[in-house]
Chains A and B, each alone.
Chain A
Amino acid sequence: MTDLTELGVAAIRDGVAKGDFTAVEVAEGFNANVAAAQAALNAFIVATPEKALDAAKATDARRAAGQPLGKMGGVPIGMKDLFATRGVQTTAASHILEGFKPEYESTVSQKLWDAGAGMLGKLNLDQFAMGSSNETSYFGNVISPWRRSDGGNAPLAPGGSSGGSSAAVAARLAPAATGTDTGGSIRQPAAFTGIAGIKPTYGRCSRWGIVAFASSLDQAGPMARDVRDCAIMLEAMAGFDPKDATSLNMAVPEWEVGLSGDLTGKKVGIPREYRMDGMDADVAASWDRGIEWLKDAGAEVVDVSLPHTKYALPAYYIIAPAEASSNLARYDGVRYGLRDLPDGANLQEMYAATRADGFGAEVKRRILIGTYVLSAGFYDAYYTQAQKVRTLISQDFKNAFTQCDVVLAPTAPTAAFGLGDMVSDPLAMYLNDVFAVPASLAGLPAMSVPAGLNREGLPLGLQIVGKPFDEQGVLNAGLAIEQRAAFSARPERWW
């Protein structure tokens, strides 16, 4: 029998439906992979093999009874530990939420369970989703399953913040995983690990029950091995939710049915400002190949300008910390999570001690920046200015989309870097999201697909950004690249 953990979402769903194998066999296979890799990769904060098995048994029972199995019937997945899961510890990889067991289920995770998926466990991430390397987790670094081809064993970053998700999918610990993307946290880790991931239009997936980082940017999406699997899982995750004030009240398209790699009549924009001085040669070459692939798929390639690109990151590093400082005010040692009450401390001292003990260095750094830029006397100079620049960035895309249907760019300026290489310089780490952040600020659907390996044998991703609500156009351009890149590289198992 084939190793069922080699299968992706579509193959598992179809195989279970046809009776080629049972959902329980699939869950057992992935549960075993999760357990075997935990010590080496640290991709999960909590494993829930019994949840995966229970969901699988339910799917097998429905099949036996002749009932429909759902879009994700029989597919076990990893859940980023930013989604509230009833009765299962939900930490956002922080000490301040250690031991927190929600009394409710997030909308997105509930939709996935309703669609027949099961939970393998809660995936590690950067603390409160703040980071690009998964090195800010209170529960330790996630180690990428990839290694450089030079024979060295230097541990590499799986990307961030959805680093547990990317590592788990790349290492075949899960056929797919949820991610969230605030400024690239689905796309950059997908690119670093040779998998696919899509951030849909802001509002497609409900934010209800997702631990909030920067609410005007946060958006959930799937991470999986290929474009089709992403389309299937996104259908299961998306949809209107009255509990989220910014949820889009729109029908969820049948993205899987609509998949087509034929781009005849489509125009692909190449943003000239993304071709930066000193660009990594392998990244530039990969981008050039992507352009040729999309031409081969029938698309016309046009030069477009996104003139405010260089201001996207600095605007993001005002807006996101500002929103984070507000959102994270809720962690006070009173209602849930950690409480640090020094002897004789009053209420204010308890708040300050709890937050000092419960937040990591990067989270504190962002709360302080956010508090500063929102403080009296500085608000207009920083926050209002950044929100005006955000308007201009959004207008750049609107203008570009009068000339093209999608934009093609690299996902990240580099392949995966080594763990520890960037931690001493927060700014250098922030710059890794230079190509990902503009689409976040504009709320646009964007995906990363694997495009090849660099000279060190590490994956590179290409990013497609689309018009609002045009996930189909993004997925189709992603599929056209996938069909031509024929990316079959995978990390050799060492864990």
Chain B
Amino acid sequence: MSVDTATVAKIASLARIRVTEAEIAAMVPELNGILAWVEQLGEVDVSGVEPMTAVIENHLRLRDDVINADPLTGGGVRDAVLANAPAAEHGFFGVPKVIE
């Protein structure tokens, strides 16, 4: 499989990365080079093989169902959450208007 300029533009849009036409033109051969190289995985006989889900077997844990079980990841820290926001306003994340 290979990509063309329309596909790269579509992928970039899905990834929310603005790209110029010149950038797309440069990316098409680069991405195709990488995709052609990974194509070799198709040679591998994977019949009956399960896709890997966990590299080291482990059990998913449940934490106790209590508020602020770990204060580091708990609530009540609005100002800390907003401290690095580029446009915090009135205790919220500010964004451009989304409703006309």
Contact = CB atoms under 8 A, between A and B. Distances in A.
Contacts of A334: 85-86, 93, 95
Contacts of B44: 308, 311, 385, 388-389, 392
B22 interface: no
B46 A392 contact: yes
What is the predominant secondary structure among interface residues of chain B facing chain A? loop
B84 A101 contact: yes
Contacts of B98: 346-347
B56 A202 contact: yes
A10 B98 CA distance: 58
B79 to A, nearest CB: 9
A434 interface: no
A203 B61 CA distance: 14
Nearest to B59: A249
Contact of A442 (B30, B49, B55, B77): B55
A355 B56 contact: no
Contacts of B84: 99-103, 335-337
A341 B27 contact: no
A468 B58 CA distance: 12
A359 interface: yes
Nearest to A104: B72
Instruction: Please indicate which of the listed interface residues B1, B41, B53 has the most CB atoms of chain A within 10 Å of its own CB.
Output: B41
B16 A348 contact: yes
A386 B41 contact: yes
Interface in B1-35: 1, 3, 7-8, 11-19, 27, 30-31, 33-35
Interface residues of B, number: 54
Nearest to B100: A346
B93 A382 contact: no
B66 interface: no
A356 B18 contact: yes
Contact of A339 (B15, B56, B83, B86): B86
B18 to A, nearest CB: 4
Given A339-B87, A385-B42, A350 B72 contact: no
A394 interface: yes
B89 to A, nearest CB: 12
B60 to A, nearest CB: 6
Contacts of A332: 16
Contacts of B37: 314, 317, 427
Interface stretch (A136-144, A158-166, A368-376): A368-376
Interface string B67-100: 0001011000100110111110000010111100
B50 A388 contact: yes
Contacts of B87: 339
Contacts of B11: 368, 371-372, 375
A22 interface: no
26 contacts: A99-B84, A100-B84, A103-B77, A103-B80, A217-B55, A310-B40, A311-B44, A315-B41, A317-B34, A333-B86, A335-B84, A337-B84, A341-B96, A349-B18, A353-B18, A365-B30, A367-B15, A382-B41, A385-B46, A388-B46, A388-B51, A389-B46, A390-B51, A392-B49, A427-B34, A442-B55
Which A-B residue pairs are the 5 nearest by beta carbons?
A: A443-B55, A387-B51, A339-B86, A336-B84, A356-B18
